[in-house]
A and B are shown apart, each in its own frame.
Chain A
Amino acid sequence: MFNRRDFLKAAGASAGVVTLGGCAGGSSKATGHVVVVGGGYGGATAAKYLRMWSNGSVEVTLVERNSEFISCPISNLVVAGEKTLADITVSYEGLKKWGVRVIHDDVVGIDAEKRKIKLAKHGELGYDRAVLSPGVDFMWDAVPALKGADAQSKILHAWKAGPQTVALRKQLEDMKDGGVYALTIPKAPYRCPPGPYERASMVAHYFKTKKPKSKVLVLDANEDIVSKKGLFMKAWGDNYKGILEYRPNSELRDVDVASRTAILEFDKVKADVLNVVPPQRAGTLVAQSGAKLANNRWAEIDWTSMESVNAKGIHILGDSTLSAPLMPKSGFMANQHGKVAAAAILNLLAGEAPSSEVMMSNTCYSFVDAKNVIHVASVHKYDAEKKTMLTVPGSGGVSAARNEIEAGFAMGWAKNIWADMLT
């Protein structure tokens, strides 16, 4: 009455329930509560994909400080006066339609042991898995005069899109023609490797068309242009000769706020608009969670799950992670991290091991003037032996030359990735 075949079925089924990595199956078996902290490119994507891929079987709470999403990519066009803040702002309403519970609040503490997250105004949240995607925090110790909020409102970073973006635009508009805009770039790694060079290009474009006697001065702590070097240099040589000056090996030591002076090791540079992109580290919450940091800055994670190498149940995404070789700290990459984390978490919540066949891709578009764009692309594959993501040999590359077609693709990319994460 109970034949061998039935036995196989019964044994297989029960083993599937009680063991990790049991029988294969869809993620809809996953149940539990995931709390995602940070609704940027990484966190918002993870929240949506957890709901979508689980067919709603997993509860997701997203904790986000801001009431709306404001994109860092494309924000340099706002700085240059080509776009408005509204153009790069997206509501969180779309995520609510996926059944994500969105709480606008600050996290004040996380207890990885008890799996609890404490919020400033909304009490405590218990979780089965937590996803931390807080982006970067600035290392103000490296620019001591900018520690206070008042100083930070005068010498802007505009490296987190929002009020700072609008304020920098205002400073540039208010600057007299013939003035100097100086931009300081920290040593890599930092958020968005080509971003500073795009900003320098777009401010130079603004000056060329509206304030032709003005200058852009790039003070780069790095010994050379970090990303798309040849393409940026070509654009600067062709378009901005006499407007844009690039100085490598120019690490910022401090600033004088009142006189808007950048203090370098051997030099002082006074500007009419001084824009400081400070050195960065993983969002403070990551360190607070007990997750292991490399160099006291970036979280070390398992690339098959995005889980911290030591803080169990805590998955870390985006700019906060210790980047794999040749992997940029980009919004595109954070979106990919969010999907890998979502897939792995659904496996784990269903009692299965995460997949080790992990692929990620990246494309970063940069505007060099109002109409022309350049890109850098890469494809990354998990290497089980080296336990990291490596670029696939022969893949990736940059634009052949700056071109107008990719300006259309850059905006098309933005609209699609915003929809991919938020609607």
Chain B
Amino acid sequence: MRKLNFALSMAALALLAGPAAAQQDPNLARNLVANCANCHGTNGKAVPGAGMEPIAGEPKEKLVKKIKEYRSGVRPATVMHQISKGYTDEQIDLIAGYLAVQK
């Protein structure tokens, strides 16, 4: 009986934990990279010869540095200085990490 009560209370705890777990979206990096795909190709794999910079499989540190340089204005751009300002450090980190492991 005591065991059953314990099981029920644990189930209740799991229920409570539900919404909190949903807030930390495990697919966030994947979903953010989908914002890049419009110009840079699905998962950062650009159409060859279409004139867009390939971003899949690039080292994470290099991508983070580049995006942050666009954001600060250090690196000249036509549009990326305006797009990069829409994303936080944490989001840029997730984006670069996801792109870096694309083969």
Question: Chain A residues in contact with chain B, CB under 8 A?
Answer: 2, 7-8, 10-12, 14-16, 19-27, 49, 52-53, 332, 335-336, 339-340, 343, 352-353, 355-361, 363, 375, 377-381, 391-392, 394-397, 399, 403, 405-406, 408-409, 411-413, 415-417, 419-420
Contacts and interface: CB of A to CB of B under 8 A. Distances in A.
A16 B83 CA distance: 37
Contacts of B47: 412, 415-416, 419
A49 B34 contact: yes
Given A363-B39, A405-B78, A353 B86 contact: no
A16 B39 contact: no
Contact of B22 (A352, A363, A397): A352
Interface residues of B, number: 43
A405 B34 CA distance: 24
Contacts of A21: 18-19, 21-22
Interface of B: 3, 6-7, 10-11, 13-15, 17-19, 21-28, 30-32, 34-35, 37-42, 46-47, 50-52, 78-79, 82-83, 85-87, 91
Given A375-B78, A416-B47, 8 more contacts: A11-B11, A22-B14, A24-B26, A343-B31, A359-B31, A375-B79, A417-B39, A420-B38
Contacts of A416: 37-41, 46-47, 50, 52
Contact of A332 (B24, B38, B50, B85): B38
A417 B3 CA distance: 56
Sorted nearest first, the 5 A-B pairs with minimum C-beta distance are A379-B86, A15-B14, A395-B86, A11-B10, A355-B25
A395 B52 contact: no
Q: Which applies to chain B's interface (DSSP): helix, strand, loop or mixed?
A: helix
Given A359-B87, A392-B85, A415 B50 contact: yes
A409 B38 CA distance: 12
Nearest to B11: A11
B39 A413 contact: yes
Contact of B31 (A339, A399, A408, A409): A339
Contacts of B79: 363, 375, 377, 406, 409
A15 B10 CA distance: 9
B88 to A, nearest CB: 9
Contacts of A8: 10
A19 B60 CA distance: 37
B76 to A, nearest CB: 11
Contacts of B50: 411-412, 415-416
Contacts of A23: 14, 21
B28 A355 contact: yes
Nearest to A11: B10
B95 to A, nearest CB: 10
Given A11-B7, A396-B86, A359 B13 contact: no
Given A11-B14, A405-B78, A377 B83 contact: yes
A420 B91 CA distance: 22
A380 B32 CA distance: 12
A393 to B, nearest CB: 9
Contact of B87 (A24, A377, A379): A379
